[in-house]
């Protein structure tokens, strides 16, 4: 790695530059005052204006000409109320002067790093960016990666659970290049604000207070941040009767001639020279573009074949961890954050996972972890992967939503799925989680049934273009031949999201559809029903989102155009009408689980091959259909329940 150059953050002296900051501050205040914010927010904006201006003029690595330059400092604004500050700064420094009346939301300006999201979420994302910087700096050295993450927070952000979780993680990971600037809101009880500061102090942060109008104090606090060995929280305290010196705002301080712009441009030019000579340049640029090595495809296939030979009948969880291990070998930009719940279960199962050397342990702070994954993905140069227990997904949901909203590439492995959890009491199983995740735009939810399907799902998850992808994993190995192995009538494959696992010749009487561990149950039920003389097709549908993207012809071939459809999933029926139509039968659980061994739970909810056969046969008897049943659905007059009684799909 190249030698570390001097820090590039200018060392600071006094008066002439101070005047410059004060003039800029005056211009910024005028811009803020012209905005349409509420009075309370206006007070906060004015309080933070001088500290932010000082940061912007004297410290921040930012070139307005190339606002998305990779080694820029990240400036994260977690609350939309604080966005006018960012807007004012961009207005004063950027050459194509921003329209101040427009809000600078995510996607509208390359210098806006993240979508704000719910309170506190940005704090976690900033910690993720700082972690990404740390990891990239380790690989490429400070000559290429030498920036910081600044957060313009509100005090309400600091009080949220996600921010407090992220603060613990930031301290644990030693993210000394993260700094948060905040001021008390006029609506906040001063005790609450100082409690917030104390909580950050207790979380291993360096906490400082400065007077928000004292430029000298602000500058020395900012300089202390540059030297800090911990993440820093800088509280800017307003003074009621302070007036700033009355300096004229000068035009040449703004636009491309602004001190920020001049400093940013010069820093970026010298960075470009270093990049040109850096021996890791090709890798660096490829990873920033989010691309794998050209040999990735075959290496991945080769590693996977090895894995499959070693444990052909492993559980989907085992296979997914093997895939994660393979990915860690092939993609240096992979960064894994893992919650305790999953690391423990991996350790218990003695899985060959790359946790030992590359995964960052995130304890029980899953919400903070998920927020950090957002920041890592937005930082660039990193492929973030989160590993956590399936039951914790609700805690991560508001962070996951931001990932989907920003269409970021984040992989999630969710371990210990559902009923199959364990035989020492299943606890309170996930019921509605699958439906609630499938309802989220841009997110792909994979629930593979066996090791071979897991391979295809890994592949599809990596290729999923729209954003995050989840793999929902079961620790129990499926019975042999439950999954993707080729049988009569096999058509398509798991990489299509859904496929025909087996099917007899001739007109179908029944199509059994299932995902994950329930595919084995469907297969078994299919065998029983075949013995009764019915022509049964078994469909495994590990990913609805990918399946929905296939051609109508493919879907029609898989789902079939006649006979009864049965959906089997140890989860809520919500949304299954999409595939089952109105006369379909759903076998699952529309109630919360009970605490009992998995087998008992499956039996209690009637998710067994025997119960499925009974239901199917009862339906055929009730409709008076012959076993060589006509393609029409059973008459709807006999249906007991509306929830199951929308009409059968004909594709």
Provide the 3-class DSSP secondary structure of residue 568: strand
Helix (H), strand (E), coil (C) string for 98-156: CCCCCCCCCCCCCCCCCCCCCCCHHHHHHHHHHHHHHHHHHHHCCCCCCCCEEEECCHH
Nearest CA to 153 among 94, 233, 208?
233
Residue 440 binds to a copy of itself (criterion: CB under 8 A): yes
Calpha distance 528→559 (Å, rounded): 20
Tell which one of 30, 439, 618, 622 touches a copy of itself (CB under 8 A).
439
Q: What x-and-dash track marks residues 109-138 binding a copy of itself by CB under 8 A? A: ------x-xxxx------------------
Tell which one of 4, 30, 310, 548 touches a copy of itself (CB under 8 A).
548
Residues 594-623 within binding reach of a copy of itself (CB under 8 A): 595
Q: How many residues bind a copy of itself (CB under 8 A)?
A: 83
Tell which one of 35, 67, 174, 204 touches a copy of itself (CB under 8 A).
204
- Residue 366 designated active-site: yes
> Taking the CA of residue 295 as centre, how many other CA atoms within 13 Å lie in the half-sphere pointing to its CB?
5
Which residue spans within 550-639 are E strands per DSSP? Answer: 564-568, 585-587
We find the least distance from the C-beta atom of residue 34 to a copy of itself, in angstroms, to be 16
We find the least distance from the C-beta atom of residue 368 to a copy of itself, in angstroms, to be 7
Select 160 or 495, whichever has its Cβ closest to a copy of itself.
160
Residues 234-293 within binding reach of a copy of itself (CB under 8 A): none
Calpha distance 57→59 (Å, rounded): 6
Locate all alpha helices (DSSP H) within 246-339, ordered by sequence: 259-277, 281-288, 296-310, 316-330
Tell which one of 105, 423, 531, 628 touches a copy of itself (CB under 8 A).
105
The DSSP secondary-structure symbol of 477 reads P
Select 11 or 356, whichever has its Cβ closest to a copy of itself.
356
b (16+ CB within 10 A) / e for 52-81? bbbbbbbbbbbbbeebebbbbbbbbbbbeb
Q: Which of the following is catalytic: 133, 366, 452, 577?
A: 366
Residues 283-342 within binding reach of a copy of itself (CB under 8 A): 340
Residue 560 binds to a copy of itself (criterion: CB under 8 A): no
Provide the 3-class DSSP secondary structure of residue 338: strand
Tokens 């099917």 belong to residue:
503
Tell which one of 86, 385, 404, 414 touches a copy of itself (CB under 8 A).
404
Tell which one of 472, 555, 566, 568 touches a copy of itself (CB under 8 A).
555
Q: What x-and-dash track marks residues 352-391 binding a copy of itself by CB under 8 A? A: -----------xxx-xx----------------------x
Q: What angle do CA 131, 392, 321 make, to 5 degrees?
A: 65
Are 612 and 566 contacting, i.e. CB atoms less than 8 angstroms apart?
yes
Tell which one of 245, 425, 624, 631 touches a copy of itself (CB under 8 A).
425
Stretch binding a copy of itself (CB under 8 A), from 136-144, 377-385, 433-441, 525-533: 433-441
Residues 568-587 within binding reach of a copy of itself (CB under 8 A): 572, 574-575, 577-579, 581-582
Q: Annotated active-site positions, please?
A: 366
């Amino acid at each position: 790695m190249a030698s570390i150059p001097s820090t590039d953050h200018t060392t600071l002296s006094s008066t002439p530059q101070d005047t410059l900051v004060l003039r800029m501050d005056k211009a910024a205040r005028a811009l803020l005052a012209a905005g349409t914010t509420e009075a309370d927010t206006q007070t906060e904006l004015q309080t933070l204006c001088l500290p932010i201006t000082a940061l912007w003029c004297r410290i921040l690595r930012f070139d307005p000409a190339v606002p998305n330059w990779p080694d820029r400092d990240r400036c994260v604004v977690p609350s939309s109320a604080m966005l006018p500050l960012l807007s004012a700064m961009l207005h004063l420094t950027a050459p194509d002067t921003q329209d101040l009346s427009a809000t600078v939301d995510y996607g509208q300006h390359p210098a806006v790093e993240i979508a704000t999201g719910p309170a506190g979420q940005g704090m976690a994302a900033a910690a993720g960016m700082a972690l990404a910087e740390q990891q990239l700096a380790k690989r490429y050295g400070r000559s290429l990666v030498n920036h910081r993450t600044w957060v313009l927070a509100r005090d309400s952000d600091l009080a949220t659970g996600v921010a407090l979780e992220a603060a613990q993680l930031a301290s644990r990971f030693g993210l000394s290049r993260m700094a948060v600037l905040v001021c008390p809101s006029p609506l906040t009880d001063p005790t609450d604000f100082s409690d917030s500061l104390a909580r950050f102090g207790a979380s291993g942060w360096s906490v400082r207070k400065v007077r928000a109008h004292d430029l000298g104090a602000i500058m020395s606090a900012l300089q202390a941040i540059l030297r800090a060995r911990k993440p820093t929280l800088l509280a800017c305290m307003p003074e009621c009767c302070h007036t700033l010196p009355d300096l004229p705002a000068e035009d040449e301080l703004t636009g491309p001639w602004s001190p920020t712009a001049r400093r940013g441009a010069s820093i970026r030019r010298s960075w470009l020279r270093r990049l040109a000579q850096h021996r890791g340049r090709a890798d660096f640029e490829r990873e920033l573009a989010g691309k794998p090595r050209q040999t990735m495809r075959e290496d991945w296939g080769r590693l996977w074949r090895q894995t499959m030979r070693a444990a052909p009948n492993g559980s989907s969880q085992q296979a997914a961890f093997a895939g994660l291990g393979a990915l860690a070998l092939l993609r240096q930009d992979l960064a894994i954050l893992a919650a305790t719940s999953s690391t423990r279960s991996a350790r218990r199962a003695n899985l060959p996972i790359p946790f030992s050397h590359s995964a960052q342990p995130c304890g029980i702070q899953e919400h903070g972890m998920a927020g950090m994954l957002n920041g890592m993905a937005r930082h660039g140069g990193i492929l973030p992967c989160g590993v956590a227990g399936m039951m914790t997904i609700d805690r991560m949901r508001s962070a996951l939503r931001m990932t989907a909203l920003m269409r970021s590439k984040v992989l999630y492995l969710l371990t210990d799925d559902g009923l199959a959890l364990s035989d020492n009491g299943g606890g309170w199983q996930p019921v509605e989680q699958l439906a609630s995740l499938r309802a989220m735009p841009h997110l792909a939810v994979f629930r593979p049934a066996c090791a071979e399907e897991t391979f295809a799902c890994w592949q599809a998850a990596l290729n999923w273009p729209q954003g995050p992808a989840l793999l929902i994993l079961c620790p129990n190995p499926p019975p042999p031949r439950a999954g993707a192995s080729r049988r009569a009538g096999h058509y398509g494959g798991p990489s299509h999201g859904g496929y025909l696992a087996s099917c007899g010749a001739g007109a179908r009487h029944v199509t059994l559809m299932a995902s994950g561990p329930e595919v084995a149950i469907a297969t078994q039920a299919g065998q029983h029903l075949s013995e009764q003389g019915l022509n049964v097709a078994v469909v495994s549908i590990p990913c609805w989102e990918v399946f929905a993207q296939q051609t109508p012809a493919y879907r029609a071939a898989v789902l079939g155009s006649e006979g009864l459809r049965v959906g089997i999933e140890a989860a809520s029926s919500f949304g299954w009408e999409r595939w089952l139509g109105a006369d379909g039968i759903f076998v699952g659980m529309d109630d919360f689980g009970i605490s009992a061994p998995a087998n008992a739970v499956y039996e209690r909810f009637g998710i067994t091959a025997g119960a499925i056969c009974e239901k199917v046969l009862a339906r055929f008897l009730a409709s008076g259909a012959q076993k060589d049943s006509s393609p029409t659905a059973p008459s709807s007059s006999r249906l007991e329940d509306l929830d199951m009684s929308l009409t059968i799909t004909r594709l």
